[in-house]
Amino acid sequence: MVGEEHTIAVQMALRLLMAIFSLGVLSGMITIALVLWRTKSLVLLPGEEGLSRWERKARQSNRFFSGNTI
């Protein structure tokens, strides 16, 4: 009986740790998405349609690293 109680306690601890880890990963993904959304680094702004792919990516990168919200 002592071994069974220990196994249940270990299983409960593992489930709790898995839940905490899952919430951490989810909150990290949400944080990254919010940062990208707020800095508009994934948005194609008006006037950028005619540019080459590399020029658009460079401008998006500059918006992300400058921290300005346009």
- % residues pLDDT > 70 (the chain): 81
Q: Residue 1 has what pLDDT?
A: 46
pTM: 0.59
Helix, strand, coil % (nearest 5) of the chain?
A: 75, 0, 25
Separation in Å, CA 47 to CA 7, 37, 55: 63, 19, 12
Q: Is the pLDDT of residue 28 over 90?
A: yes
When divided into structural domains, the chain yields a total of 1
Q: Residue 37 has what pLDDT?
A: 82
Give residue 41's domain range.
2-66
Structure token digits, residue 51: 């540019």
Of residues 35 and 28, the one with the higher pLDDT is 28
